[in-house]
Structure 1
Amino acid sequence: MGVAHAARESVGFSTVNTKTLPRRTVVLLYARISEDPRDRRRGVNRQMADLRGFAEENGWEVGGEYIENDVSAHSGEERPEYDRFMAAAIGVAREPGVRVVVAGYHPSRVWRRRVERAQAIEDLRHAGCWVAFETGGLFNMAKASDRSQLANLGESDTAESEVKSERVARAALERAQEGRANGAVAYGWRRQYEYDARGQVDGFHDVEDPEQAAVVRDIVTRLLAGESLLGVTADLNARGVPSPGAGRVLKRRAVGQTDDGSLWNKTSVKKLALRPANVGIRVHQGVEYKAAWPALITDEQHAQLRNMFAGRAVVRELPGARKYLLTWGEVATCGPCGAVLRVATRGNAKRGKKQPTYVCDGAGCVGRNVEALDRYVGRVVVGVLSRPDAADVFRGDSTAALTALERAEGLKARQATAADDYAAGLITREQLLRITSTLAGQITEAQSEARRLRPSFDLDAFDGLVGERAADSWEALGVAQKRRVLDGLGLRVRVDRVSRRGPGFDESTIALRWARTDGWPGTRQETLG
């Protein structure tokens, strides 16, 4: 007689008066595996096969099968099949003349968290259900003693999970402090394994992958040059460049993605460009550590990208969907009311065709022909870019950034001193961990401040933008790229009302401000409020 069968006999399935027994015993089967990244389903299939045999051995009618593959019961992530499993059990239990058994392979396959297990015990108690496990154990949820036994049995599983979680977390922190990668090698690098004298793997380190690293640098350079995420994404797919997820076996793929996962989307492009890993930073629980792998781009490029996207989030810029130079963000405003500009078709159809016109987005206070205003702004910008000192405008003032970096280095030195004090027996291990953790947070803040204070424009991404070739370079740029130049110069345009009516473009009604200069000749300089 098996353990499960003996347990069944002990709780009265065979000794209860047959006149009081329900006419049917329905069992619902649940199988779960925590990790199966390749979705092979071997573990859950074995569990379900054993559960079917378990139900047949006891003569139970199978009312449903529920499988959850590669899903953790300890982390708190959603388990839709478990929810369906519980709802079905409670629903079937309402039918007259039916005893319901919920069955799993082992208690740990059904519950890991105390809260979830306690709620299930209470729900099944009200429904009058039983709980059974193929590895042994049958519990009547109507009896307090059985509920207590099930809770105690599950507590050991919860404790085991928590101990394992703490052990894994400590190992993850150690890897982060050493700058080592966590998990699979990231896009842009390749893994080189180290072997001991017996030929067994003794460790690894990540080195630059020339082909993938070139893709990362190309994406960063093009975004800094003003190209849109949509444009860069479309070009990568058109050229057949495999995405970071190409060839990986995944349970779910984004809508429109191919079976082999080779297509890029704008979200993956943005995430790849903004990764701290690109500049050799390892992030663990919000704290930054120096990575053991080589950087792919410079700190300045990373800071410029972060600043650029942060600015777009504030003003809701959508450069990939914009057609005109002065219609998104707040680069151009209405003089009378301060509203931003939009484009509308204006003009007298009888005297000539209507033209795209910049108009006030508020009360329609002002309006200017799009072509004329863009041409005027472009002429002024080219005049500025042609100056011998134009490059200085884009470099900005790095003094504050250097101060923040020096503060970060000082904090790192304090960390090293604390480690020396621990080695000398001057402080305890607990004190060392507390000091290290506190200083790590302060170092992260200082490094983030340094990146934020660096210039947000990469002049190297614009070949020939300043100097003698400025006019040709400006004309060759797209709208989004020209807008990046205006932002890099800190240009603000105010459009005032015209004082006279008639043909021609009145430059005197356009006021310009340069945020990082003391004023450029040939433009009307005013404080634009």
Structure 2
Amino acid sequence: MTTSRLPDVRRAAAYGRISEDDQDRREGVDDQLTRAEAHIERRGWDLMGSFRDDDLSAYSGKPRPGYDALMAEVVAGRVDTIVVRHVDRLWRDDLEAARGRALLRQHRVLVAEYGGMEYPAWTAHGQHMMRTMSGNGTFESDIKSERVREAAERRAEQGRMNGPCPYGWRREYVRTSTGRVVESREVEDPEAAEVVREITRRLLDGDSLLAITKSLNERKVPPPGAAFTFRHKRRAADNPDGSRWNKTSVKKLALRESNAGLRIFHRGEPDEREIEGNWPRLVDREDWRRVVSLLSVDDRDKRVKRPANRQHLLTWGVGECGACGGLLRVAGKGAAGKPKVPYYVCVSTTCGLGRREDYLDRFVGDVVVARLSEPDALAWLTPDGKELADATGRAAEARELLATAGAKLATGEWTVGTVDAVTKATKPKLERAEADIRRLRAGSDRGLLADIAGPEARQRWDAASLGLRRAILDALGLRVVIKRTTKHGPGFDPDSVEIVWPQ
């Protein structure tokens, strides 16, 4: 189908990709590259290099280092021919395919299948055939995804687990006389279930993720990956036998809705809802919701890396400098030769703002206790359903616009530049909407705050650990802003502190 004369000798690269390689021996990609390199030699082209992506689907959206390196060689002018098993090895996502075809057309690249088809990307015919053939790959993936999604939805509606049996349970099977599985059910694994309960209890008692992780490893408690053979060896380089816990695994385990006997249907979508599971729950549902509130991450948490063991109430995101908007840290102040008194000060050394830590902590505690002691405290803390609906709608609109951009680029209605501009403007809106959804859903869980709100709020606050007090401030979403004061001399000026409650 070539319509333009090609150079006698082309600078060719081989590319191979396979999305699943269960044996972890990469036979599929090895075979693709061997055949592609043989095709290059047979055609008399110069082999400039071979590029591979093992066990990475082009349709998954995950980074593909081999593909990215290949495109960099094309842009640099060192490769003008790409040899693959089939053109759908390069792309299956419409947006990525449109970008790729535009780049190959710009650099006059020939895409050759070692089975025989060739696509000169600089010609209309070549572009059309690449669109058609890669579109077939997209259709195939869409059909497969649809089947998988429908099966998952059926299982969800029936309250059944999906995928491998998770940590905390074991799966029992009912088989026919010939050994065929006709039914399965999950039953509690006593030892693993007790670990899940321990993690939940300790988090609610104020223990940090780091402390829990350290304790589990010191006692050599088998983690979820202990009996798992890693398919991706490179991912387990620092824990090859899966015998150690880390903070991430502890956190993920604590956040699982399955612990409370729930499934999340269509997570992150407008019709997301909880479905009652038909397996035994491991923890009380209200305790699980309190843990979710405790570990929820809002926008404030993303600004800085937070320490594992909290030593101060208002550092790392709650306290702010009223002069420059910076965060607060703790520094000792006092005359030489005398004990230093801890002060909250701005991370910037130029503002000069500071308040004694014990005075400010006491003031914040008094404000929180006073508000949570009022009869309408829990009603006030429950977010407006309209606000959550608005955030969900904004997220859906942003996702729809991004999907539309990909479709219009694929059909040629929009240019790559237009799509880039739309994507750049829309992604921040989607991120803000999703952050609002997380905040509102976390705030709608009253479990953590219900434990302190009411007439006994003072006693409960005083008895709470520092970690639990900070979790309460995070759940409330308040900010503590220290401002300049005209008052001089000893003592604490309440007017120099502003408590900012969420709107």
TM-score tier by shorter-chain length is 0.5 to 0.7
Matched residue, 1:414: none
CA distance in 1, matches of 2:241, 2:136: 42
Matched residue, 2:58: 73
Is 1:452 matched with 2:432? Answer: no
Shift of 1:72: 1.4
Which digits, 9 at most, give the CA deviation of each residue in 1:272-297, with x for residues without a partner? 11221110111132222112221110
Identify which of 106, 118, 130 aligns with 2:110: 130
Identify which of 246, 251, 257 aligns with 1:270: 251
CA distance in 2, matches of 1:50, 1:171: 37
Letter of the 1:321 partner, please give it: N
Change (3 A) 1:320 1:120: closer
Is 1:322 matched with 2:310? Answer: yes
Matched residue, 1:213: 193
Which digits, 9 at most, give the CA deviation of each residue in 1:245-267, with x for residues without a partner? 33441537679832223332222
Matched residue, 1:294: 280
CA distance in 2, matches of 1:208, 1:261: 22
| Structure 1 unpaired stretches of 5+ | 1-9, 95-99, 332-339, 378-392, 402-443, 460-465, 489-498, 512-528
CA distance in 2, matches of 1:313, 1:292: 35
Identify which of 139, 142, 153 aligns with 1:162: 142
Identify which of 279, 292, 295 aligns with 1:306: 292
Shift of 1:324: 5.3
- Contact 1:193-1:205 within 8 A present in 2 as well: yes
RMSD of the TM alignment (CA)?
5.3
Shift of 1:510: 12
Matched residue, 2:175: 195
Is 1:121 matched with 2:101? Answer: yes
Matched residue, 1:494: none
Give the secondary structure class of the aligned counterpart of 1:120: helix
Percent same amino acid at aligned positions?
35
Change (3 A) 1:105 1:480: same
CA distance in 2, matches of 1:253, 1:209: 30
Which digits, 9 at most, give the CA deviation of each residue in 1:413-453, with x for residues without a partner? xxxxxxxxxxxxxxxxxxxxxxxxxxxxxxx99x9699712
Shift of 1:486: 11
Give the secondary structure class of the aligned counterpart of 1:321: coil
CA distance in 1, matches of 2:101, 2:355: 70
Change (3 A) 1:142 1:295: same
Give the secondary structure class of the aligned counterpart of 2:15: strand
- Contact 1:224-1:458 within 8 A present in 2 as well: no
Give the secondary structure class of the aligned counterpart of 1:30: strand
- Contact 1:341-1:358 within 8 A present in 2 as well: no
Letter of the 1:282 partner, please give it: R
CA distance in 1, matches of 2:253, 2:278: 19
Matched residue, 1:152: 132
Is 1:226 matched with 2:211? Answer: no
- Contact 2:9-2:44 within 8 A present in 1 as well: no
- Contact 1:103-1:132 within 8 A present in 2 as well: yes
Shift of 1:79: 2.3
Matched residue, 2:455: none
Identify which of 243, 246, 249 aligns with 2:230: 249
Change (3 A) 1:486 1:29: closer
Matched residue, 2:161: 181
Which digits, 9 at most, give the CA deviation of each residue in 1:118-169, with x for residues without a partner? 4433433333332211233123334433443333333322222222222222
Give the secondary structure class of the aligned counterpart of 1:294: coil
CA distance in 1, matches of 2:49, 2:72: 11
- Contact 2:170-2:187 within 8 A present in 1 as well: yes
Shift of 1:301: 0.8
Change (3 A) 1:478 1:50: same
Is 1:26 matched with 2:32? Answer: no
Shift of 1:373: 12
- Contact 1:317-1:329 within 8 A present in 2 as well: no
- Contact 1:30-1:103 within 8 A present in 2 as well: yes
CA distance in 2, matches of 1:159, 1:485: 49
Shift of 1:171: 1.7
Is 1:281 matched with 2:267? Answer: no
Matched residue, 1:261: 242
Which structure has the larger Rg?
Answer: 1
CA distance in 2, matches of 1:174, 1:228: 38
Aligned length: 414
Shift of 1:198: 2.4
